[in-house]
């Protein structure tokens, strides 16, 4: 129960805490790893020298994301009625599907539970319980892909010391979640849907570009010149909503302390690096630990890890290929 509470608080913005108790198995692993420090360093350098960069999971994820969004486009333009609508609300071969965050704001704006909307929401809820909550962000959301590409430009500018990466408190996202929900309830309008780059890009791809793309462009400029992935990290309530779903999902990325050299490459590439706090030396409490609900299951950490300490896994089942 304590870990569940810690994961929930971490998702809402609390800083990860150092563990007060570590299992005996983990203590023994750490003793074995550092008993012969010279040999440990030699193995570490050997693995680094022979590491082959992998983009396996990134390429799979990009392929799925592009395919899902293009299915919307093709279904509309060819009128084949496979996947109708947009990411906020759609119908897949007759099954109604409504984005959880969008449905919440609609019901808050109308101030009552809409039965038809609830049915479509429940379908999506079940889907993302199985697929991993925030997997929506990295495997489906079109803004995630665009922001991921422009992030490379931001990092180059930071490396050349032309810009500085400004960070905000992660709890800012929780404040925005509450603020957007209150605005929907108070005004009767789904204000977030007007500003959401996810919905704007989805509708622009399907129905054609509009003036709202200017807002998306401004967000990207802010992320390139001021704060890395600011919208996803500090503002977007969709991530927090799907993170709540991720609390009960069986699909996770698992960290195995015995295989780890604690170099931190995984945290450098992660969109939500606090979920990888467990990879810091002395932070793991068990031999095998799931990364938690705020993890987007993007697989960047799995690709970059030279020792296989991070892997996709379904709780109670073997690892995924």
Q: Model pTM? A: 0.91
The pLDDT of residue 45 is: 65
The pLDDT of residue 275 is: 93
Phi-psi label, residue 45: left if phi above 0, alpha if psi -120 to 50, beta otherwise: alpha
CB atoms within 10 A of CB 256: 19
Backbone angles phi, psi at 319, to 5 degrees: -65, 155
Beta strand extents in the chain (DSSP E only): 83-86, 89-92, 95-98, 251-256, 288-290, 310-314
Bridge partners (DSSP) of residue 313 are 252, 319
The pLDDT of residue 263 is: 85
Taking only the tens of pLDDT, the chain with its 321 residues reads 577 788 888 888 888 878 878 888 888 888 887 777 777 777 776 676 667 778 999 999 999 999 999 999 999 999 888 889 999 989 888 888 899 999 999 999 998 887 778 888 988 999 999 988 899 999 999 999 999 999 999 999 999 999 999 999 999 999 999 999 999 999 999 999 999 999 999 999 999 999 999 999 999 999 999 999 999 999 999 999 999 998 889 999 999 998 888 888 999 999 899 999 999 988 998 999 999 899 999 999 999 998 889 999 998 775 554
């Amino acid at each position: 129960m304590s870990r569940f509470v810690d994961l929930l608080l971490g998702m809402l913005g609390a800083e990860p805490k150092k563990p007060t108790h570590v299992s005996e198995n983990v203590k023994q692993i750490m003793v074995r790893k550092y008993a012969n420090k010279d040999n440990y360093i030699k193995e570490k350098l050997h693995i680094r020298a022979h590491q082959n960069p992998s983009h396996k999971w990134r390429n799979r994820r990009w392929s799925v994301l592009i395919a899902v969004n293009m299915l919307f486009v093709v279904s509309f333009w060819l009128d084949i009625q496979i996947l109708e609508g947009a990411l906020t609300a759609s119908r897949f071969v007759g099954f109604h599907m409504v984005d959880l965050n969008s449905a919440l704001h609609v019901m808050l704006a109308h101030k009552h539970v809409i039965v038809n909307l609830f049915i479509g929401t429940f379908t999506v809820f079940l889907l993302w319980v199985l697929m991993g909550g925030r997997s929506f962000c990295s495997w489906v959301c079109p803004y995630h892909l665009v922001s991921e590409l422009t992030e490379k430009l931001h990092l180059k500018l930071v490396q050349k010391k032309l810009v500085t990466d400004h960070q905000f408190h992660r709890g800012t996202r929780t404040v925005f979640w509450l603020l957007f929900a209150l605005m929907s309830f108070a005004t009767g309008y789904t204000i977030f849907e007007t500003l959401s780059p996810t919905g704007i890009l989805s509708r622009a791809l399907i129905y054609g570009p509009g003036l709202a793309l200017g807002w998306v462009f401004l967000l990207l400029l802010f992320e390139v010149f001021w704060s890395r992935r600011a919208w996803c990290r500090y503002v977007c309530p969709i991530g927090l909503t799907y993170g709540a779903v991720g609390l009960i999902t069986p699909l996770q990325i698992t960290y195995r302390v015995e295989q780890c050299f604690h170099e931190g490459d995984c945290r450098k590439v992660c969109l939500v690096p606090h979920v990888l706090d467990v990879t810091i030396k002395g932070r793991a409490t068990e031999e095998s630990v799931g990364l938690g609900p705020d993890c987007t299951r993007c697989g960047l950490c799995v690709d970059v890890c030279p020792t296989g300490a991070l892997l996709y896994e379904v709780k109670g089942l073997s690892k995924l290929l």
